[in-house]
């Protein structure tokens, strides 16, 4: 079995070195528990960088220190449990909190209802994809509870997204092995610019759709429909025969 090199490089954080040393010499069952707890806390709304932990433990699994399948189960279960906790919290008291925040910001109650209706239409895809997007993962399930998304729908969407994310990160760590920090650097340097670009594209898309719908609505409101012409003709005949 190949060994995972544990030499502190120049400029490397001592904390990272110490954590690496600890995880390599502790009972694997404790590592599985740590992974599950960290993923659960992150998915329940606490912003923790779980990608670093998944990449590192995936690298350890490639050298035989951990079992990749048990690691996948622990990470996925923790992520799903945390997502369900966030959903339950949002469903129990999230709407009241959102209404209070809206009133404090001088917003209208109708805005909350609009957001809820929109989330019910597009929420399934939003929950699914958000479980695979860094920085957004911790905050995606709380709105689903506020909107009272169906439990089964939420569970399936959150579980599928969580499973793909955990398997993907662990697989990348497994294949990179000793070079797992390369993936960490790429994530931290390019995730935020990529998210900003996606947000800009989505904003342009929704703005364009809104303008097109507004133009079509004004266009068709000015032109009477054939049904309206028939109704007007019938009313005229009735008035003449009266």
The total domain count for the chain is 1
Show the tokens assigned to 84: 């369900």
Torsion of CA 42, 43, 49, 52, to 10 degrees: 110
Closest CA to 160 of 168, 171, 172, 170: 168
Q: What is the pLDDT along the chain (242 residues), one digit of tens a residue?
A: 445 554 444 445 566 667 677 777 778 899 999 999 999 998 888 878 788 889 988 988 888 888 999 999 999 999 999 999 989 888 887 666 665 655 554 555 555 566 666 666 667 888 888 888 887 787 778 888 887 888 898 999 999 999 999 999 999 999 988 888 788 777 777 766 776 777 777 677 767 777 877 777 777 665 455 555 554 455 445 444 54
Domain assignment present for residue 229? The answer is no
Domain assignment present for residue 22? The answer is yes
Domain assignment present for residue 19? The answer is yes
pLDDT at residue number 39:
93
Domain assignment present for residue 74? The answer is yes
Domain assignment present for residue 2? The answer is no
Name the 3-class secondary structure at 45: coil
pLDDT at residue number 7:
40
pLDDT at residue number 32:
93
pTM of the model: 0.69
pLDDT at residue number 95:
64
pLDDT at residue number 238:
47
Task: Domain of residue 69: give its range.
Answer: 14-192
Domain assignment present for residue 9? The answer is no
pLDDT at residue number 111:
58
pLDDT at residue number 133:
81
pLDDT at residue number 146:
80
Domain assignment present for residue 94? The answer is yes
| Helix, strand, coil abundance in the chain, percent, nearest 5 | 80, 0, 20
Domain assignment present for residue 232? The answer is no
Task: Give the H/E segment covering residue 174.
Answer: helix 151-176
């Amino acid at each position: 079995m190949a060994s995972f090199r544990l030499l502190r490089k120049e400029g490397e954080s001592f904390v990272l070195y110490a954590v690496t040393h600890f995880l390599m010499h502790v009972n694997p069952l404790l590592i599985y528990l740590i992974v599950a707890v960290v993923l659960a806390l992150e998915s329940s709304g606490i912003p923790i960088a779980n990608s670093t932990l998944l990449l590192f433990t995936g690298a350890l699994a490639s050298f035989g220190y951990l079992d990749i399948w048990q690691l996948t189960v622990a990470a996925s279960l923790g992520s799903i449990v945390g997502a369900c906790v966030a959903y339950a919290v949002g469903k129990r008291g999230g709407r009241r909190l959102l209404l209070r925040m809206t009133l404090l910001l001088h917003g209208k109650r109708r805005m909350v209802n609009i957001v809820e209706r929109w989330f019910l239409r597009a929420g399934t895809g939003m929950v699914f994809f958000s479980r695979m997007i860094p920085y957004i993962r911790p905050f995606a399930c709380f709105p689903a509870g506020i909107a009272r998304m169906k439990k089964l729908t939420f569970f399936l969407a959150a579980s599928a997204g969580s499973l793909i994310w955990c398997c993907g990160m662990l697989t990348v760590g497994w294949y990179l092995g000793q070079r797992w920090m390369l993936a960490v650097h790429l994530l931290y340097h390019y995730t935020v610019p990529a998210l900003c670009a996606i947000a800009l594209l989505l904003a342009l898309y929704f703005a364009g759709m809104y303008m097109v719908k507004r133009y079509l609505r004004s266009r068709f409101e000015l032109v009477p429909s054939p049904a309206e012409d028939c109704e007007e003709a019938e009313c005229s005949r009735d008035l003449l025969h009266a």
